[in-house]
Structure 1
Amino acid sequence: MPIYEYQCEACGHQMEALQRMSDAPLTSCPSCEQPQLRKKISAAGFRLKGSGWYETDFKAGNKKNLAGDTAKPAAKSEASSGSATETG
């Protein structure tokens, strides 16, 4: 569900609301209770909810941390290049 930003034109109160995309925009300000609440134009945030949103859910085999796996070969290549300069 998207998180929308609102601002009251009467008192300037700002807030966020978790709403369905099909829900009508809020109009009543919770601070001053005036019908001057307007939805701000912004990138809507969203909440990842339920299973399937974790790093380990999309990895194959034993690779559970791909960032850590890519760092290991780089360390090996540095060690081999470092030893080559010592012998050469």
Structure 2
Amino acid sequence: MHSIEIRQTGPTSGRLKNSITLELISSERLVAVTIWESGESEVITARIGSADDPSVSLAQLRTVNDVAELLTRVAMTMSEDEV
């Protein structure tokens, strides 16, 4: 099992669009998840050491279930490197 480092930025306050960002970093992959209080979200996924452009996914989170589904997808992405 690979170790995963998690970094949190925020939550911000006093901005036009307050947000929180979680970065999940393994030896193989970086995933950055930003969620704004408006419900907007952005997930950036990149392979470490790859010249490929990172993938970017945008979504509107309307419910707590939407947040849970987003985090489940992120966890699945991070576990893709497990063998």
Give the TM-score category using the shorter length: under 0.3
Q: Which protein is richer in helix relative to its size? A: 1
Larger Rg: 1
Q: Which protein is richer in strand relative to its size? A: 2
Higher relative contact order (CA 8 A, sep 6+): 1
TM-score of the two chains, using structure 1 as the length reference: 0.22
